[in-house]
Amino acid sequence: MFVGSGRNYSISNISSDHSGEYKCKSSNKHGEKDSDAVNLNVMYATKTISLSISPSAEMQTDAPKNIAVSISPIVEGESVTHKHGEKYSDAVPLNVMYPPKNVSVYINGSGETEGDSVTLICSSDSNPPALNFSWFKEDQISSVGSGQSFSALQSGRFYCEAHNQHGSQRSDAVTVTVKEHHGSRWHEVFGITVECGVSFIIVTITIIIIMFIIKKLRSFKSEYITMTQISESSEDTYRLLELNSTTSDLYGTLTTLHPRPPEDSCTTVL
């Protein structure tokens, strides 16, 4: 294919399309002759690169998958890496999911505390993040708590277990020592003593009030009985006077309701 004339031939804006064999032809009135061909190989950086994940962009570590990388266009003999330049493909997400690992427990503060609880925190590495945390004490079968943090109220060795939908893993146990707080114990004893003292005073006052009321009631009852007896005695006194007749004889109107017993008779011996 004829591409130009003249002693020199220049190619502007060279590209891979200009690759090929070139030769020139010279002629005069006596004839013409072709030169030997020269090969022109125009090299270039990767033009189009795409990354694809087969069969899915989401996989688990225990399920083998193939990650395929395709470069377009690919010419026979081309290498993926070119020394003439580089180009980045568009990013594609790759989500590798796995169960909890590296599960550990760390203590918020010191492992030894006095008269208070110790806060334990469970951490793990997982995808997706662990949703459930269970806490266990070494000498117990059932769990003693749940959640990423746990407050230990007693001494012992505790560990956590992290869970997600792909599996679970337990941590190593940590030792927690909860000591009795003597100051708090003294305040507790003092509080109990004060409470008992106040209760004793209240009970004593209540008993005194009840006894005073009972004494008053007894005194009132005694006075009532005395007044009743006096009233009945007065009525009997007034009943002794009864009219026997309506005569003018003053003494004829008196009668003896309760006769006086006869006196012993005495005989005088001369």
Which contiguous run of DSSP H or E holds residue 127?
strand 118-127
In a domain? residue 135 = yes
Most confidently modeled of 111-125, 145-159, 178-192, 229-243? 145-159
Spatial separation of the C-alpha atoms in residues 126 and 96, rounded to whole Å: 10
Q: How many residues does the chain have?
A: 270
- Say yes or no to pLDDT of 215 above 80: yes
Q: Could you tell me if 164 and 124 are in contact, meaning their C-beta atoms sit under 8 angstroms apart?
A: no
In a domain? residue 111 = yes
**Greater pLDDT, 247 or 192:** 192
Closest to 256 (Cα-Cα) out of 266, 244, 267, 245: 244
Residue 233, pLDDT score: 56
**Greater pLDDT, 35 or 136:** 136
Spatial separation of the C-alpha atoms in residues 156 and 174, rounded to whole Å: 8
Mean pLDDT of the chain: 74
The answer to whether the bond into 261 is cis (omega within 30° of 0) is no
* Residue with tokens 């407050």, as numbered in its chain: 151
Can you read off the two tokens belonging to residue 56? 């899915």
- Say yes or no to pLDDT of 181 above 70: no
Angle at 140 between CA 138 and CA 144, to 5 degrees: 95
Cβ neighbourhood burial of 103 (10 Å; 0-12, 13-18, 19+): buried
Q: pLDDT grade, residue 53 (50/70/90)? A: low
Range of the domain at 149: 98-179
Residue type, 71: I
- Say yes or no to pLDDT of 5 above 90: no
User: What Å distances lie between residue 9 and 4, 31, 43, 137, 243, CA to CA?
Assistant: 7, 22, 20, 88, 181
In a domain? residue 201 = no
- Say yes or no to pLDDT of 241 above 50: no
In a domain? residue 143 = yes
In a domain? residue 18 = no
Q: In this predicted model, what pLDDT tens digit does every residue of 88-127 receive, in sequence order?
A: 667 777 778 899 999 999 888 665 555 577 889 999 999 9
- Segment 61-73 shows an average pLDDT of 58
Q: Count CA atoms within 13 Å of residue 26 on its CB side.
A: 4
Spatial separation of the C-alpha atoms in residues 175 and 158, rounded to whole Å: 7
The total domain count for the chain is 1
Residue 108, pLDDT score: 80
CATH of the domain at 110: 2.60.40.10
Q: Could you tell me if 25 and 2 are in contact, meaning their C-beta atoms sit under 8 angstroms apart?
A: no
**Greater pLDDT, 213 or 261:** 213
Spatial separation of the C-alpha atoms in residues 120 and 137, rounded to whole Å: 12
In a domain? residue 122 = yes
SS3 265: coil
In a domain? residue 158 = yes
Q: pLDDT grade, residue 193 (50/70/90)? A: confident
